[in-house]
Structure formats: structure tokens, C-alpha cells
């Protein structure tokens, strides 16, 4: 009678134990099998923090190895909010050192995180002061900050990079994939008390730096160009200015100066208009400099010869119910003299002799209306309408350098083609890419784009353009001891309010090459909206002379050698 209830209780107890073990077993299976991945990830999030550091960007040097852009190691400050007892006290100590308001710092330090950045890439002196404070929960690691040791020099070409090491403008942007260092990921551990444990030697664990660039640019030539351009813009009270110096035989850019300048080390307060590379991004009506290309086309097509007699219509000619004017009452003259005197009327007649299709063909061949494909960002096509969109006067206007928009780089490339015997080269600014050990990864060689005119036509044009400097509108570009070939340009700008040509806003320019018989330099000088006299022969030609003379001396091009070469060629 007694055994029955006792056996029943044992069965109940056994059943309860089995149920308990089943629940425990089910829970173990759930935790260790079904939810294993999820719980492991959660544990990692609680005990680990992943922080990434960028490798140093590669150096940028000029053609002789002079450093133009580099990285300097500077402190970056982080905090460990979960290990702080009094975030407000720590924030008050940090505020005067980091020059950040204490309430902003405190807000960061009160986050439920094991790692927060407080200040990136601060000054070394600030880092030293932080070390003296020795605050628990506050640490410092060294990061690379981009530094441009020459300040504004070549700034529009170099561009700049952002806080996280990405290229934002100029070469920094165009070659970001080469310059960008490898990313290093560091895992920070937390101990049983929730404190972050940083790997030993965190600051010394430098990731792999980026590749180095060697430019075609010469620091000395760049300095000369920028100095002379700044003086010209200041003297003429101009809006802006541009100088490009190119090696005609290769297309290598030796200098590219833009005014006003900027310092890429200090860009916080600047607008994009200040760092825009006007040599590539801004178009202008070239005016009379276009006559050199129109003349070359006419000689190539044999619709004109240097000695062809043309009538200047005594300074006025009616085309499409409008009157074209020359600065002087010119009568009969040779074609060479007309170019040297920059006759608008003869330029219009030359264009009409070529016809729409042939003129358009040569303008395209000289690279107008299309990018030069230089290895820099931001380049525009310019403006060259197809003949079907031309008006009744367009043929004459385009031949005079109106109704067409070009960039400074397009124009100097076109004239450099004449200097190079009629062969157009692709312009470029980077000559080599090397890794951190100095091994050559990429070498850029000069690249022929196309032949546009024959060597005979190019030589004839050189003689005509020399006459511009010796007897024509460009006498102020003459360099003693050297033969200079070039062309002046003075173009009215369109008034955006009226849509008509302005009577007060002009672009003065000069484009040419030297020594004419064996060109080392092709150069364009543009002065935008000079006040007072705006003629290209007055505001731009003297700048060409000053830059050219200094650069030729720097390159060691002897005046005596030039004379000997000229005499030898003449005898030959």
C-alpha cells in the first residue's frame, strides 16, 4: 500500500529530470549550433574594435627629383569612452590643447564605444602637449598628412588630398590609385573589465606607402613662369592669367602656371574657383592667334603662298551685312605681311579661300573642339561648331579667332605642332611611376598623335611667325640672340549681360616658340581682362620674352650656338 505512492513520486521526479535535461540539451544545441555564428559575431563586437589606418601617399617630384608633394607623420588623437570615469574632466583638459570646444569633446567621450577619433592629423606640438597630460583613456597614433613643401608652386597641377588620404583635385586625384597607400586594419581587444588593449607598437605599424610620381615639370621653370605671371597680372590689374611651357618635340609640360595662386596646404577657406586649373577648364575666344593655324592650312592646301598678293580693302570689308575692320588702312601686301600685321580682312579672305569643310577639317586636326587627353582631370573640349551650325559670317569670324572657344592647352599644343615640323604630340605631365623601393612600374614616353601639315609648311610658317616678332605685332616678344616665332592675340570677351562683344573686357595673349630654328620651348601667355592697354603684343608678349630668356639661360641654350645653327642651316 505504501510502495505505490513512493514509486509514483519516483516516476514524477524522473520525468522532471528528463524534461530538465532535454531543455538544457536543446539550449546547448541552440547556442552552440544554431546561433553559434551570430553569438560569435556579437562577442567579437563586444570584445574587439577594428580600426583602419591609411598608408602614406607616394611622393611627387619634379623632373630632377625635387620634392613637390610628400607625407609628414603627425599625431592623431583617439579616445576610449568605455574606460573613462569622468568624460567631462577629460574633455576640459583636452579642449585647450586640441582647440575644440569641451562640450563637443565630452559628447564624443560619452558614447558607448571602445574607440572614437577626437582629432585627426594635428600639429606635432599639440601631440607633445598631450603626452605631457598623460590622460587615461586617451591615446595618440601617428598618421600621414599631405604636405606641399613649395607652398603655392604648381598648386593647380598638383591639386590636394583629403583628410582620409583620398586625392581630391589635380594630380592627386588623377593618379590617386597609384599615390594611395595600402590600408592597414588593426583589431583592438577589450579585457575582462571592458578596457581596450592596444597592440604593442601601434604607432610604428606603418602600412605600405603609395607609389611615387616623377613629373615632366621643372621646378625652376615653373618658378620663373609663376613669378612673371604674378607680376604681369598685378601690373595690368588683370582678372587672371595663364602660362604653359611645353617641350614641342615630346609634348612634355615643363611649366603650367595659373594666377591667382593658392596654397594647397591651406584650403579650408577657399572655393573651387580658386583651385580650378584654368589652363584646362577655361575656354576663350583666341582672336588673332588662330590666324597661325588658318594660315598653315591655307599653305598646306596651296590656296595661298607666302608671296601671294592680297588686298586689305583699306581696313574695311563688308561680310554678311556686317563690317570687318583692321587696325590700319592696309592695301596690297603679301600673305606673309598680312599675317605679320594681323589683318582680320586677309584672315577672313583666307578662310573663304579654304572653304567651310577644309577649314573645319584643319581646326579639328589641330585639336580644337576636343580634349588633348593630358593626364590631368577637369579638361574640357572647348567649342568648335560643325559647319552645318555656322552662320553667314561664321567662316570669316572663325578665321579671325571668333565664334570658337579654345583652352590655353589646346592653343599651345597647336602652335607646338608647327614648332615640331607639323607633327602633333600628346601633352603629358607624369613621366614615371615607381614603388616605395624605387622600382620602375610605369614609364611614360612621348606619343605622336598625328601629322597635320608637311615639314615644308611648318618651316614656312616658322619664317612667317618670325616676321611677327621682328617686324609685326609681336616685337616685344623678341629675345636678344635668339630667333623667336609667334603670334599675338587680342580678343573681345562676350558681355554676359548683353550677349554682345564687350568694349572693355579683353583677353591679351601671345603664343610662340624659341629658338625658331630648333625649338626647345613652346609657350603661351594669357592675360585675362587687363586694365588699360589690352593688346596681346603689349600685355602678353613681354612676359613671353622675360620667361623665355630666363628659361633658355637656365637650360644652357647658348646664343652663340643658336647663331651658328642658323648660319649652318642657311648655308645648307
- What sign has the CA pseudo-torsion 380, 382, 388, 391? positive
User: What is the rounded CA–CA span in Å between residue 528 and residue 534?
Assistant: 9
Q: What are phi and psi of 386, to 5 degrees?
A: -75, 155
Q: Which helix (H) or strand (E) holds 455?
A: helix 455-470
Q: Cis before residue 260, ω within 30 degrees of 0?
A: yes
Contact between residue 289 and residue 523 where contact means Cβ atoms under 8 Å apart: no
Separation of CA 445 from chain center: 20
Q: What are phi and psi of 45, to 5 degrees?
A: -65, -35
User: What is the rounded CA–CA span in Å between residue 540 and residue 490?
Assistant: 10
User: What is the rounded CA–CA span in Å between residue 121 and residue 551?
Assistant: 39
Give the angle subtended at the CA of 509 by the CAs of 506 and 511, to the nearest 5°: 160
User: What is the rounded CA–CA span in Å between residue 106 and residue 411?
Assistant: 57
Q: Are strands 309-311 and 485-494 parallel, antiparallel or unpaired?
A: unpaired
User: What is the rounded CA–CA span in Å between residue 453 and residue 388?
Assistant: 25
111's CB contacts (< 8 A; 6+ apart) are 81
What is the residue-wise DSSP string for 37-76? HHHHHHHHHHHEEEEEEEPPPPPEE-TT--EEEEEEEEEE
**Known catalytic membership, residue 288:** yes
- What sign has the CA pseudo-torsion 273, 275, 280, 284? positive
Q: Which helix (H) or strand (E) holds 543?
A: helix 541-555
Contact between residue 424 and residue 362 where contact means Cβ atoms under 8 Å apart: no
User: What is the rounded CA–CA span in Å between residue 62 and residue 215?
Assistant: 5
- Around Cβ 317, how many Cβ atoms within 10 Å? 19
> In terms of Cα–Cα distance, which of 421, 419, 430, 413 is closest to 371?
413
Q: Are strands 253-259 and 212-215 parallel, antiparallel or unpaired?
A: unpaired
Contact between residue 292 and residue 465 where contact means Cβ atoms under 8 Å apart: yes
100's CB contacts (< 8 A; 6+ apart) are 94, 118, 119
SS3 call for 241: strand
User: What is the rounded CA–CA span in Å between residue 234 and residue 264?
Assistant: 22
- Around Cβ 50, how many Cβ atoms within 10 Å? 11
Q: Which helix (H) or strand (E) holds 17?
A: helix 3-29
- Catalytic one among 288, 394, 397, 509? 288
User: What is the rounded CA–CA span in Å between residue 540 and residue 491?
Assistant: 13
- Around Cβ 28, how many Cβ atoms within 10 Å? 10
Catalytic residues: 288
Amino acid at each position: 500500500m505504501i510502495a505505490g505512492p513512493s514509486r509514483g513520486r519516483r516516476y514524477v521526479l524522473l520525468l522532471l529530470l528528463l524534461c530538465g535535461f532535454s531543455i538544457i540539451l536543446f539550449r546547448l544545441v541552440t547556442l552552440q549550433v544554431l546561433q553559434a555564428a551570430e553569438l560569435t559575431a556579437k562577442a567579437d563586437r563586444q570584445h574587439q574594435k577594428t580600426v583602419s589606418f591609411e598608408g602614406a601617399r607616394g611622393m611627387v617630384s619634379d623632373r630632377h627629383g625635387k620634392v613637390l608633394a610628400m607625407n609628414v607623420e603627425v599625431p592623431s588623437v583617439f579616445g576610449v569612452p568605455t574606460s573613462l570615469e569622468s568624460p567631462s574632466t577629460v574633455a576640459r583638459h583636452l579642449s585647450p590643447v586640441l582647440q575644440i570646444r569641451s562640450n563637443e569633446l565630452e559628447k564624443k567621450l560619452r558614447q558607448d564605444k571602445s574607440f572614437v577619433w577626437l582629432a585627426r592629423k594635428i600639429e606635432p606640438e599639440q601631440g607633445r602637449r598631450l603626452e605631457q597630460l598623460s590622460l587615461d583613456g586617451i591615446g595618440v597614433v601617428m598618421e600621414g598628412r599631405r604636405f606641399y613643401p613649395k607652398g603655392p608652386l604648381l598648386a593647380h597641377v598638383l591639386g590636394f588630398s583629403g583628410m582620409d588620404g583620398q586625392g581630391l583635385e589635380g594630380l592627386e586625384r588623377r593618379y590617386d590609385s597609384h599615390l594611395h597607400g595600402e590600408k592597414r586594419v588593426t583589431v583592438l581587444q577589450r579585457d575582462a573589465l571592458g578596457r581596450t588593449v592596444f597592440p604593442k607598437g601601434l604607432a610604428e605599424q606603418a602600412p605600405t606607402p603609395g607609389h611615387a610620381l616623377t613629373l615632366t615639370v621643372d621646378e625652376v621653370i615653373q618658378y620663373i613662369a609663376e613669378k612673371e605671371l604674378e607680376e604681369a597680372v598685378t601690373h595690368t590689374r588683370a582678372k587672371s592669367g595663364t602660362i604653359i611651357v611645353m617641350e614641342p618635340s615630346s609634348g612634355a609640360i615643363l611649366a603650367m602656371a595659373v594666377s591667382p595662386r593658392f596654397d594647397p596646404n591651406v584650403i579650408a577657406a577657399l572655393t573651387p574657383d580658386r583651385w580650378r586649373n584654368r589652363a584646362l577648364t577655361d575656354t576663350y575666344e583666341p582672336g588673332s592667334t588662330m590666324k597661325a593655324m588658318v594660315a598653315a592650312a591655307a599653305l598646306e592646301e596651296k590656296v595661298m603662298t607666302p608671296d601671294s598678293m592680297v588686298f586689305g580693302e583699306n581696313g574695311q570689308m563688308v561680310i554678311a551685312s556686317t563690317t570687318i575692320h583692321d587696325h590700319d588702312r592696309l592695301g596690297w601686301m603679301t600673305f606673309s605681311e598680312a599675317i605679320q600685321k594681323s589683318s582680320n580682312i586677309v584672315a577672313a579672305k583666307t578662310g573663304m579661300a579654304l572653304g567651310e569643310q577644309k577649314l573645319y577639317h584643319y581646326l579639328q586636326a589641330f585639336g580644337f573642339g576636343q580634349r588633348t587627353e593630358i593626364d590631368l582631370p577637369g579638361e574640357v573640349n572647348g567649342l568648335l561648331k560643325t559647319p552645318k551650325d555656322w552662320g553667314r559670317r561664321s567662316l570669316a569670324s572663325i578665321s579671325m579667332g571668333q565664334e570658337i572657344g579654345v583652352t590655353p592647352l589646346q592653343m599651345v599644343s597647336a602652335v607646338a605642332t608647327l614648332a615640331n615640323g607639323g607633327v602633333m604630340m600628346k601633352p603629358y605631365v607624369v613621366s614615371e611611376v615607381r614603388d616605395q623601393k624605387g622600382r620602375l612600374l610605369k614609364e611614360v614616353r612621348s606619343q605622336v598623335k598625328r601629322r597635320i601639315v608637311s615639314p615644308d609648311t611648318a618651316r614656312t610658317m616658322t619664317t612667317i611667325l618670325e616676321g611677327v616678332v621682328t617686324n609685326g605685332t609681336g616685337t616685344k616678344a623678341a629675345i636678344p640672340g635668339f630667333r623667336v616665332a609667334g603670334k599675338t592675340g587680342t580678343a573681345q570677351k562676350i558681355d554676359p549681360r548683353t550677349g554682345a562683344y564687350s568694349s572693355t573686357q579683353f583677353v591679351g595673349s601671345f603664343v610662340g616658340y624659341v629658338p625658331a630654328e630648333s625649338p626647345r620651348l613652346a609657350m603661351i601667355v594669357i592675360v585675362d581682362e587687363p586694365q588699360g592697354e589690352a593688346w596681346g603684343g603689349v600685355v602678353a608678349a613681354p612676359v613671353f620674352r622675360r620667361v623665355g630668356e630666363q628659361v633658355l639661360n637656365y637650360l644652357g641654350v647658348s646664343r652663340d650656338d643658336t647663331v651658328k645653327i642658323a648660319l649652318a642651316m642657311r648655308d645648307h
